[in-house]
């Protein structure tokens, strides 16, 4: 070989390398482009015609602009039996991480434009990967569900991956906040993953969630029921209690989740994010809030507005069991969970739904280091055979268990009625409330004066010539002796009787002193909550 030939070959090598590199780069751009838009234009058009956004649009709206980092964009179905066109990149789900208000978040979003968002092996493995990432770094995870269930063509593999996802949901429970957004169908086994997460958000007339769909019900049971009636967003927000917020549209759902995240810590080892203290609401409105007649209701939302920063709070499950209010707010810039009886609904009684709603909320707050503020006006448990037959004893015990188990700061204020067992259950001193306050209007007793007098003095009233006059006198005596906060205060069951207008200040002072609360439990694997 001559010198000129050698020089020519050495010159050709860099040119060939550059061509190979350029070809690989072109292949990368082609695959990347195909991974970003795996759905056909027709499928995307159908998605938008239903008033639904694409999976990628949802992720970008949820996260801070430009913060999304995608993972496994090029993952695809592993089956050699399928043609390349039947193995789209991404396999129908987008996963990755980004930030919300500058804080880290893991996210997955099912893509209904690819195989109807159904779950196959690659699809399920991607969701498992992002859940594992959330566990490693200790950040919240949001799942955007829009899929028709398991991919039938992949058989038992799809069911196996559902099991892997469920296992991770349980493993992450109480470790990092998990939020599910139902943006379309969520059917069959797929429905159990949202059920295992902390919060479920659904969109009115767009979201549907059920284990057994209308068609199968019709064939198997002869029961005819519509999609909305069976598993629509409104049903799960008002009747089943499976959902925590009914969004008017997808943007409303995303806004709610972003706001929800602002109250929650990244994980169970962190404190919730703190903000500058908001302005003090006008507390003087509380001094004249409670009516003179104990049978007249008042709106508990007035109390909430007067104790949280700027009068702002985020309610959880507002349409389910409205006789109890569960909400997240801030006092002095710090997150608190608020549980309050609502006298405007069922007189504030505890029933099956209210007990389970509040118990779940208390346990969620306790898991994520959020102090619990309880506002009490409860005349008792709702009476009735239906309540008894459907397990009010067991279900009411869930709320009792949740309060007794909670180790975060617990501050209770008794506003008016606190009768019988319901008084004990609602975050009382006996369940280790750290500080318990009472308004002068508080009535802490076994039962109301009228009922107590009718039982205690039945014979005397039956023999009296003027039973109405005697009854009124006995009721007045019982009121002064028993239906008062001062007898409970004398025994240390109430730490202070406060003016209603001082409620915010009293709670804020209590939260400050309890900020470094430390409490240990007896050694055990776990308790056995009455499920």
Q: What is the pLDDT along the chain (531 residues), one digit of tens a residue?
A: 666 665 556 556 677 777 777 776 666 556 655 556 567 788 888 888 888 999 999 999 999 999 999 999 999 887 655 555 668 889 999 999 999 999 999 999 999 999 899 999 999 999 999 999 999 999 999 999 999 888 888 889 989 999 999 999 999 999 999 999 999 999 888 999 999 999 999 999 999 999 988 888 878 888 888 889 999 999 999 999 999 999 999 999 999 999 999 999 999 999 999 999 988 899 999 999 999 888 899 999 999 999 999 999 999 999 999 999 999 999 999 999 999 999 999 999 999 999 999 999 999 999 999 999 999 999 999 999 999 999 999 999 999 999 999 999 999 999 999 999 999 999 999 999 999 999 999 999 988 777 777 778 777 777 776 777 777 778 777 887 778 899 999 999 999 999 999 999 999 999 999 998 988 888 999 999 999
> Between the CA of residue 143 and those of 58, 62, 209, 254, what are the distances in Å?
11, 11, 14, 12
Cβ proximity of 181 and 152 under 8 Å: no
Write out the two tokens for 287.
């001094």
Query: For position 202, what pLDDT does the model report?
Result: 98
CA distance 68 to 283: 43
Domains of the chain in start order, with CATH, are: 39-261 (3.90.226.10), 283-448+483-513 (3.90.226.10)
Query: For position 34, what pLDDT does the model report?
Result: 58
Cβ proximity of 492 and 429 under 8 Å: yes
Residues with Cβ within 8 Å of residue 349, at least 6 apart in sequence: 323, 378, 379, 380, 381, 382, 422
The separation between the first and the last C-alpha atoms of the chain, rounded to the nearest angstrom, is 86
Write out the two tokens for 454.
């009718």
Query: For position 223, what pLDDT does the model report?
Result: 85
Q: Classify 426 as helix, strand or coil.
A: coil
Cβ proximity of 417 and 394 under 8 Å: no
> β-pairing, 435-438 with 410-419?
parallel
> Between the CA of residue 139 and those of 121, 160, 265, 498, what are the distances in Å?
25, 26, 8, 40
pTM (2 decimals)?
A: 0.91
CA distance 412 to 495: 10
Residues with Cβ within 8 Å of residue 269, at least 6 apart in sequence: 138
Q: Classify 330 as helix, strand or coil.
A: strand
Query: For position 363, what pLDDT does the model report?
Result: 98
Q: DSSP readout, 163-228?
A: HHHHHHHHHHTTTS-EEEEEEEEEEGGGGHHHHTSSEEEEETTT-EEESS-HHHHHHHH-----HH
Of 30, 38, 100, the closest CA to residue 65 belongs to 100
Of 168, 53, 189, the closest CA to residue 119 belongs to 189
φ, ψ dihedrals at 346, nearest 5°: 50, 30
| Residues facing residue 417 across a β-bridge | 443
Cβ proximity of 416 and 377 under 8 Å: yes
Residues annotated as part of the active site: 188-189, 421-422
CA distance 37 to 475: 74
Query: For position 515, what pLDDT does the model report?
Result: 92
Half-sphere exposure of 405 (CA within 13 A, CB side): 21
Query: For position 514, what pLDDT does the model report?
Result: 96
Mark out the alpha helices in 390-466 (DSSP H runs): 392-405, 420-425, 449-456, 458-463
Name the maximum alpha-carbon separation found in the chain.
136
Q: If DSSP states are collapsed to H, E and C, what string results for 86-144? A: HCCCCCCEEEEEEEECCEEEEEEEECCCCHHHCECHHHHHHHHHHHHHHHHHCCCEEEE
Q: Classify 7 as helix, strand or coil.
A: helix
Residue matched to tokens 């109807």: 116
CA distance 66 to 460: 78
φ, ψ dihedrals at 259, nearest 5°: -65, -40
Of 399, 387, 274, the closest CA to residue 341 belongs to 399
Query: For position 327, what pLDDT does the model report?
Result: 98
Q: If DSSP states are collapsed to H, E and C, what string results for 63-98? A: CCCCCCEEECCCCCCCCCCCCHHHCCCCCCEEEEEE
């Amino acid at each position: 070989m001559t010198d000129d030939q050698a020089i020519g070959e050495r010159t050709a090598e860099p040119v060939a390398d550059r061509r190979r590199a350029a070809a690989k780069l072109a292949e990368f751009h082609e695959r990347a482009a195909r991974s970003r838009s795996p759905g056909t234009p027709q499928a995307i058009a159908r998605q938008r015609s239903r008033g639904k956004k694409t999976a990628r649009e949802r992720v970008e709206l949820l996260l801070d602009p430009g913060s999304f980092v995608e993972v496994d964009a090029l993952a695809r179905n592993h089956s050699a039996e399928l043609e390349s066109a039947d193995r789209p990149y991404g396999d129908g789900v987008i996963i990755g991480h980004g930030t919300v208000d500058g804080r880290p978040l893991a996210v997955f979003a099912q893509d209904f434009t690819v195989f109807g968002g159904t779950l196959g092996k690659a699809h399920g493995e991607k969701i498992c990967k992002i859940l594992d990432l959330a566990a490693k770094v200790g950040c919240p995870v949001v799942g955007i569900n829009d899929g028709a269930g398991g991919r039938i063509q992949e058989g038992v593999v799809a069911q196996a991956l559902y099991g892997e996802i469920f296992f991770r949901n349980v493993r992450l429970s109480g470790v990092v906040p998990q939020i599910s957004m139902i943006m379309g169908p969520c059917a069959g086994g797929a429905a159990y993953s949202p059920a295992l997460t902390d919060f479920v958000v659904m969109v009115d007339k767009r979201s549907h969630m059920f284990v057994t769909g209308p068609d199968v019900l019709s064939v198997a049971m002869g029961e005819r029921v519509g999609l909305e009636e069976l598993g629509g967003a409104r049903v799960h927000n008002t009747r089943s209690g499976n959902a925590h917020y009914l969004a008017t549209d997808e943007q409303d759902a995303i806004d709610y989740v972003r706001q929800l995240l602002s109250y929650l810590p990244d994980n169970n080892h962190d404190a919730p994010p703190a903000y500058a203290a908001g302005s003090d609401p006008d507390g003087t409105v509380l001094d004249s809030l409670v009516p003179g007649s104990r049978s007249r209701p008042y709106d508990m939302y007035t109390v909430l507005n007067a104790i949280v920063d700027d009068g702002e709070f985020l309610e959880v499950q507002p349409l389910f069991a409205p006789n109890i209010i569960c909400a997240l707010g801030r006092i002095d810039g710090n997150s608190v969970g608020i549980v309050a009886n609502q006298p405007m609904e069922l007189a504030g009684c505890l029933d099956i739904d209210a007990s389970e709603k509040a118990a779940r909320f208390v346990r969620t707050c306790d898991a994520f280091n959020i102090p619990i503020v309880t506002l009490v006006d409860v005349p008792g448990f709702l009476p009735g055979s239906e309540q008894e037959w459907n397990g009010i004893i067991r279900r009411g015990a869930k709320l009792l268990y949740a309060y007794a188990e909670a180790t975060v700061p617990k501050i209770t204020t008794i506003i008016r009625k606190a009768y019988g067992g319901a008084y004990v259950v609602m975050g009382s001193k006996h369940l280790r409330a750290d500080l318990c306050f009472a308004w002068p209007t508080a009535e802490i007793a076994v039962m109301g004066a009228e009922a107590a007098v009718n039982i205690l003095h039945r014979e005397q009233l039956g023999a009296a010539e003027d039973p109405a006059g005697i009854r009124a006198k006995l009721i007045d005596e019982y009121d002064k002796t028993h239906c008062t906060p001062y007898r409970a205060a004398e025994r240390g069951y109430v730490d202070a009787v406060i003016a209603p207008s001082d409620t915010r200040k009293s709670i804020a002072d209590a939260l400050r002193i309890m900020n470094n609360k430390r409490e240990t439990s007896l050694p055990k694997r776990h308790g056995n909550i009455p499920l």
